[in-house]
Amino acid sequence: MILNRIKSKPIVGFLLDPLGSHARQLTFEDHELTVGAKHAHRLHLRNLAEAPTVTKGLFGSQLSVHADDNSTYLLKGANHLEAMSFAEVVRAQWLVYNRECFEAEAQGITELLRTIDDLSEPKCYPSACMLSPKLELAKDLDRRLLSKLPSAAIEDAAKSKVEKIQAFIGDARARRNEAILKFEKRQLIEWTEFFNTFESNPLTPEQRTSIVADEDATLVLAGAGSGKTSVITAKAGYLLKSETRKPEEVLLLAFARDAAKEMSERIEEKCGEQLEARTFHSLAYDIIGTVEGSKPALAAHATDDKAFLALVRDILSDLVKTATDVSKAIIGWFAYARLEEKSEWDFNQKHAYYTFIEKADLRTLQGEQVKSFEELMIANWLFENGIEYEYEPNYEHKVSEGGFRDYCPDFKLTKSGVYIEHFGVRRKRAADGTYELTTAPFVDQEEYLESMEWKRGVHEEHKTTLIETYSYERQEGRLLEALAEKVTEYEELAPRSPETLFDRVVELKQADSFVQLVGTFLRHYKGGGYHIRECSEKAEKLKLGKRSKAFLTIFEPVYEEYQRRLNGRIDFEDMILRASEYAESKEFVSPFRHILVDEFQDISRSRGRLVKALKAQHSDARVFAVGDDWQSIYRFAGSDINLMRHFGEEFGGVFDGETGVHRTVDLGRTFRSVDQIAHAAKRFVLKNPAQLTKIVIPAGVAEAPALRVVSTFRHDADLKLTQVLGSIPQNLDGEKKTTVLLLGRYRHLAPAGLTGLRRAFPQLDITFKTIHSSKGLEADHVIVLNLFRGRTGFPSEIVDDPLLNMVSPDAEPFENAEERRVMYVALTRARKTVTLMSSASMQSAFVTELLEDPEYGILGEPEFQQENHICGECGGQLLAFPTKDGRFWYRCEHADLCGFSISACSSCGKGFPTRVEGSKLKKCTCGAEYPSCPACENGWLVERNGRYGSFLGCISFPRCKGKMKAMPATLHAKEL
């Protein structure tokens, strides 16, 4: 009996399935199984995971149907013979169907088997993009067919094929990796002559491996002096000579025209093949021309930074004259909005507050430098409103005595003679409703409130008018309003026009830094394809405060006017953006199958977008990038180090469920620096754990100490440089000059007498470069100039404005991350020696780190290494300064704000006595001992003569009145 329909026994079926959740009827017809239940289902034979099964039970048999989506359909209470007959009918048809399908897939199976066999002796690199489609085809075939075929239903030959494909599926990654090793091994042998002769010296094993590696995305980590240009040009030559690609299918990208030209020439010279290396901008311009039929004219300022900044300045000037609201915003920016909204209350130490103030450069519209943000607000309000004033004038009456500084009120209104004192106090309401005045955390509240009363008393006594303003007025948002009410009682306001104020800002050169900020922001904004709303949201996330809102209020109309003035022309940012959009939309059809990128650590988001768009057009396209994240020093120009750190995520392929598939090859070997320099530079840069770890194999072994620190003071820096140059050995052959590279963090650090130094040392080839412009250069000896701590020191404290974070990659959390890489670049320019010219009084944090860790092997000059001494007044550092007689004196680093200074040890004239633990003595390195001053932190007592005879007084007298009776046993030195 052959059945193609089966039902449950009516009563038994109901009893076994009273809710009707299972099938009551199954019908099979035309390769399709229909399940009759509450909700009918249709299953084609292709959707069955296996043939139906029958289980005999006490009250009838159960027929089970398993689908390939893991669902199961049951029919309970069926007649056993009928169930067996039905199952056999379906099983027979299922087997026939699958056998026919197997035969229908014969061609695909044959190709799969060929691919699997080829992995044993791969003829090309088994990249993810080439092998992944085959693996996915195998998985799909197995899911649809192979896994469903009963072994008894197919012949042994077919069974062997199935097993081979399934084995490949189960071990695809390992097989691919094994095939990669086999391919590379064979290629390295086959192309030995090419690798031996491409350069004057044979390529290293690491360079050869990087050239034959051909993953979807390959990143070559090329450390300083590792021969990256050789690698990228040899890679292009290898692709062409092996006929892997045609010239038109290879895109070679460089950042500068000179680098592109050099690579093109080397490829033609070494390989006899013409391949034009391109810059990103020339490529983008050609893409635009191809799509649009012609190339739009380039804006005149696109290639001229000075012209670009002049345009931005003109736009700001015109907006001041024509747009009232924008005009107010621009003037408000220079008056107060440009600064971070911080006050004394945001700091726990004077030192931290003073450091903030010095970096902020609180210069008023009148030109003087003030000591707080609130004083700046007051001064600029007075200037804006045409009220003549003096800042910190001498009080018209002599009121100070006892060696104290003359009384200088904060402001004096010139016309009326009224004084203004701004008091740094806030207030809080007490329980009885009265107010209590408080001071900043680091201020002695009692002493400060006493000084307030003293000043009030002085003005009352001498009948001079005093206007008082308070920090709490700013806290309450009414400082300038309150100031206006108080001042207008005595003077009439005569507001200056916005044009006048802007001209004043330009005259004081305060506009220059803002123009630079707006220009940089504009380029990043366009290059990244940002929108104002995105910037606002990011500013809020980064907690950039009102300052960001004030900036965007100005930037938006500036940007709109800038775009209008382009008048149909384009700038470099337009080039990259428009080309990326054309590549993404495929309006530009890319011929490129291999994209080779030089100096990859400098790539920006917009350039990365263009590379990804070109790669995405072809399933077999590859990216080959050469770079060194340790030399990524152009964040200010838009480079995003994260594109290199997350290279696989950004450019990698997909294989066997794994995303971001890529290959990293570490060149490791440097042809430049000796071991001491190479290892020290590596150790230094890897202090930042976010940097990619690389192997470093030095060019040779140093025969003498290769790194040293020479400490200098301002007065002897030139002499010390001359001495260092004089100690450099000449080349023995005499034919070639010894090269010396002088490096500075900034251009202004170039030695004034460079021409004279060249005349004085004719055997040396001496050049000066900034560290940034020295990238790619090398010399026998490197001298890094002016390593001191400070705003324009090294590491530089002129950090990127936080506002740029709205249009920049996220800032790195590691302190001085990019400055550390700048230092690495400086160190690795040298072949034989590096000399760091350090400031003895303001030693760079980098120099301190290098000297304190013996692993660096830095040779220092102990006699000139000054210990760090802390200013007892503010917590800053005391800096040592030599005097003409060869002695020293120490001054607080915050000279203008703190002003503390103290003489050196009275015995030796150089050292700084420090407290002996567990005693009341201070001892100098020369051995002299002094009683500690009981009244101040830094002072010590020396013998003095007064009207009542000799006594011990503080070395800092009259600033400090600390003293004690003189006792012969305690006298250790006498002040001269």
Which residues have a Cβ under 8 Å from the Cβ of 577 and sit 6 or more positions away? 526, 527, 529, 606
Q: List the Cα angle 15/16/21 in 5-degree steps.
A: 110
Mean pLDDT of 84-88: 94
pTM, 2 dp: 0.80
Cβ-contact 464, 396 below 8 angstroms: yes
* Structure token pair of residue 68: 């390939």
Helices (H) and strands (E) in the chain, counts: 31, 36
The better pLDDT of the pair 756, 20 is held by: 756
Q: For residue range 534-580, list pLDDT tens digits in order.
A: 999 999 998 888 999 999 999 999 999 999 999 989 999 999 999 99
Cβ-contact 580, 610 below 8 angstroms: yes
- Residue with structure tokens 């070559």? 220
Binned at pLDDT 50, 70 and 90, residue 14 comes out as low
Mean pLDDT of the chain: 90
- Residue with structure tokens 């090398």? 778
Residues 925, 911: Cα–Cα separation, whole Å: 6
Highest mean pLDDT among 41-55, 326-340, 617-631, 726-740: 617-631
Which residues have a Cβ under 8 Å from the Cβ of 54 and sit 6 or more positions away? 61, 62, 63, 64, 80, 83, 84, 87
Mean pLDDT of 387-400: 93
Given the candidates 3.90.1150.10, 3.40.50.300, 3.30.70.1400, 1.10.10.10, the CATH classification of the domain at 193-293+572-665 is 3.40.50.300
Burial of 586: CB neighbours in 10 Å, binned 0-12, 13-18, 19+: exposed
Residues 35, 694: Cα–Cα separation, whole Å: 63
- Asked if residue 68 has pLDDT above 90, the reply is no
Residues 906, 973: Cα–Cα separation, whole Å: 6
Q: For residue range 449-464, list pLDDT tens digits in order.
A: 999 999 999 999 999 9
Q: Strand locations in 409-454, DSSP E?
A: 411-413, 419-423, 426-429, 435-438
Q: For residue range 467-487, list pLDDT tens digits in order.
A: 999 999 999 999 999 999 999
- Residue with structure tokens 């590549």? 583
Mean pLDDT of 405-419: 94
Q: For residue range 856-867, list pLDDT tens digits in order.
A: 988 876 544 556
CATH class belonging to 675-864: alpha beta
Least confident of 15-19, 441-445, 591-595: 15-19
Share of the chain above pLDDT 90, in %: 64
- Residue with structure tokens 């108080």? 486
Q: Strand 707-712 to strand 830-839: parallel, antiparallel, or no bridges (unpaired)? A: parallel
Mean pLDDT of 198-209: 93
* Structure token pair of residue 679: 């290892």
Q: Strand locations in 696-792, DSSP E?
A: 707-712, 738-744, 764-770, 779-787
The better pLDDT of the pair 658, 963 is held by: 658
- Residue with structure tokens 């030959």? 157
Q: Strand 594-597 to strand 622-627: parallel, antiparallel, or no bridges (unpaired)? A: parallel
Q: Which pLDDT score, from 0 to 100, does residue 161 have?
A: 92
- 336 DSSP 8-state letter: I
Q: List the Cα angle 135/136/141 in 5-degree steps.
A: 100
Q: Which pLDDT score, from 0 to 100, does residue 401 have?
A: 61
Kind and range of the H or E element at 850?
helix 845-852
- Asked if residue 592 has pLDDT above 60, the reply is yes
- Asked if residue 315 has pLDDT above 50, the reply is yes
Binned at pLDDT 50, 70 and 90, residue 732 comes out as low
Backbone angles phi, psi at 974, to 5 degrees: -125, 130
Binned at pLDDT 50, 70 and 90, residue 913 comes out as very high
> Can you spell out the DSSP letters for 242-294?
TTSS-GGGEEEEESSHHHHHHHHHHHHHHHS-----EEHHHHHHHHHHHHHSS
Mean pLDDT of 387-396: 96
Which residues have a Cβ under 8 Å from the Cβ of 415 and sit 6 or more positions away? 387, 388, 491
Q: Which pLDDT score, from 0 to 100, does residue 972 have?
A: 46
- Asked if residue 603 has pLDDT above 90, the reply is yes
Terminal Cα distance for the chain, rounded: 130
Q: For residue range 946-971, list pLDDT tens digits in order.
A: 777 888 999 988 888 888 887 654 44
Asked whether the domain spanning 675-864 has the same topology as the one spanning 193-293+572-665, the reply is yes
Binding residues: 222-229
Cβ-contact 548, 341 below 8 angstroms: no
Q: Which pLDDT score, from 0 to 100, does residue 1 have?
A: 47
The better pLDDT of the pair 721, 704 is held by: 721
Q: List the Cα angle 378/384/389 in 5-degree steps.
A: 60
> Can you spell out the DSSP letters for 911-972?
---EEPTTSSEEE-TTS-EEEBPSS-SS-BEEEEEETTEEEEEETTTTT---EEE--GGG--
Residues 40, 52: Cα–Cα separation, whole Å: 18
Burial of 883: CB neighbours in 10 Å, binned 0-12, 13-18, 19+: exposed
* Structure token pair of residue 116: 């699997």
Q: Which pLDDT score, from 0 to 100, does residue 281 have?
A: 94
- Asked if residue 379 has pLDDT above 90, the reply is yes
Architecture in CATH for domain 5-103: Roll (2.30)
- Asked if residue 585 has pLDDT above 70, the reply is yes
Binned at pLDDT 50, 70 and 90, residue 974 comes out as very low
- Residue with structure tokens 């754990």? 689
Binned at pLDDT 50, 70 and 90, residue 53 comes out as very high
Binned at pLDDT 50, 70 and 90, residue 178 comes out as very high
- 799 DSSP 8-state letter: P
- Asked if residue 818 has pLDDT above 80, the reply is yes
Domain boundaries, the chain: 5-103, 105-178, 193-293+572-665, 297-363+508-569, 387-493, 675-864, 869-970
Binding residues for ATP: 222-229
> Can you spell out the DSSP letters for 531-573?
-HHHHHHHHHHHT-HHHHHHHHHHHHHHHHHHHHHHTT-B-HH
Least confident of 338-347, 600-609, 822-831: 338-347
Residues 308, 314: Cα–Cα separation, whole Å: 10
* Structure token pair of residue 185: 């091994």
Q: Which pLDDT score, from 0 to 100, does residue 685 have?
A: 95
Cβ-contact 61, 78 below 8 angstroms: yes
- Asked if residue 943 has pLDDT above 50, the reply is yes
Q: Which pLDDT score, from 0 to 100, does residue 975 have?
A: 39
Q: For residue range 491-500, list pLDDT tens digits in order.
A: 999 999 999 9
Q: Count the residues in the chain.
A: 976
- Residue with structure tokens 């092997």? 857
Mean pLDDT of 766-775: 95
Mean pLDDT of 278-298: 95
